[in-house]
Amino acid sequence: MSSAAPALRMAGIRKQFPGVVALDGVDLEVKQGEVHILLGENGAGKSTLMKVLSGALRKDSGSIEIDGRAVEIEGPRHAQALGVSIIYQEFNLVPQLSAADNIFLGREPASPLGVVDARRAHAEAGRLLEGLGVKVDTRVPVRALGVAQQQMVEVAKALSGDARILIMDEPTSALTDAEIEQLFATIGRLTASGVAVIYISHRMQEVQRVGHRVTVLRDGKRVATHDVASVSIAELVRLMANRELTEHFPKRRLEPGEVVLSARNLTRGKALQDCSLTLRRGEVVGLAGLLGAGRTELARAIVGADPLDGGSVEVKGRAVFARGPGDVIERGVGLVPEDRKTQGLVLGLSVQRNLALPSARRLSKLGVMDARAEAELAEREIQDLRIKTPSPAQPVALLSGGNQQKVVLGKWLGANVDVLILDEPTRGIDVGAKVEIYELMNRLTAQGAAILMISSELPEVLGMSDRILVMHQGRIAAELLARDATQEKLLAAALGRLQ
Other Cβ atoms within 10 Å of 309 Cβ, number = 12
Residue 249 domain-assigned (yes or no): no
Residue 499 domain-assigned (yes or no): no
Residue 253 domain-assigned (yes or no): no
Whether 487 and 339 map to the same domain: the answer is: yes
Helix/strand/coil for 73:
coil
- Give 347-405 as a 3 state SS string: CCCEHHHHHHHHHCCCCEECCEECHHHHHHHHHHHHHHHCCCCCCCCCEHHHCCHHHHH
Residue 252 domain-assigned (yes or no): no
Crossing angle between the packed helical segments 147-159 and 177-192, to the nearest 10 degrees: 10
Whether 235 and 298 map to the same domain: the answer is: no
Provide the pLDDT for residue 457. Answer: 82
pTM of the model: 0.62
Contacts of 213 (CB under 8 A, 6+ apart): 31, 34, 36, 37, 225, 226, 227, 228
Would you say 436 and 443 are in contact if contact means Cβ atoms under 8 Å apart? no
- Give the rounded distance of the alpha carbon of 412 from its chain centre: 19
Residue 365 belongs to domain spanning? 259-494
Given 209, 241, 273, the domain boundary residue is 241
- CA distances (Å), 294 to each of 14, 240, 469, in order? 45, 35, 12
- CA distances (Å), 134 to each of 12, 99, 168, 334, in order? 40, 13, 18, 40
- Number of structural domains in the chain: 2
Would you say 1 and 212 are in contact if contact means Cβ atoms under 8 Å apart? yes
* Strand ranges, E, within 193-325: 196-200, 213-218, 221-227, 259-268, 272-280, 284-289, 310-315, 318-319
Q: 77: domain CATH number?
A: 3.40.50.300
Given 241, 272, 290, the domain boundary residue is 241
Q: Of how many residues is the chain composed?
A: 499
Provide the pLDDT for residue 2. Answer: 47
Residue 1 domain-assigned (yes or no): no
Beta-carbon-side half-sphere exposure of residue 203 (alpha carbons within 13 Å): 22
Contacts of 148 (CB under 8 A, 6+ apart): 175, 176, 179, 182, 183
Residue 105 domain-assigned (yes or no): yes
Q: Is 445 left (phi over 0), alpha (psi -120 to 50) or beta?
A: alpha
- Give the rounded distance of the alpha carbon of 221 from its chain centre: 23
What is the C-alpha to C-alpha distance for residues 388 and 96, in angstroms, rounded to an integer? 37
Whether 357 and 465 map to the same domain: the answer is: yes
Whether 360 and 427 map to the same domain: the answer is: yes
Whether 58 and 156 map to the same domain: the answer is: yes
Q: Single out the residue of 410, 454, 465, 9 nearest to residue 215, CA to CA.
A: 9
Contacts of 404 (CB under 8 A, 6+ apart): 340, 341, 344, 345, 396
**What does DSSP assign to residue 343?**
I
Whether 200 and 287 map to the same domain: the answer is: no
Residue 254 domain-assigned (yes or no): no
Residue 302 domain-assigned (yes or no): yes
Whether 486 and 420 map to the same domain: the answer is: yes
Tell me the CA end-to-end span of the chain in Å, nearest whole number.
Answer: 50
Cα angle: 96, vertex 171, 71; to 5 degrees: 95
Whether 164 and 293 map to the same domain: the answer is: no
Whether 344 and 394 map to the same domain: the answer is: yes
Whether 218 and 312 map to the same domain: the answer is: no
Whether 229 and 266 map to the same domain: the answer is: no
Whether 274 and 236 map to the same domain: the answer is: no
Provide the pLDDT for residue 244. Answer: 56
Query: Mean pLDDT by 10-residue block, N- to C-terminus, for the chain (499 residues)?
Result: 80 88 95 94 85 95 96 94 86 89 87 84 88 84 84 84 88 75 87 94 85 94 95 85 66 90 94 95 93 88 90 91 76 87 88 91 85 92 89 91 87 87 84 83 91 90 94 93 89 75
Would you say 99 and 140 are in contact if contact means Cβ atoms under 8 Å apart? yes
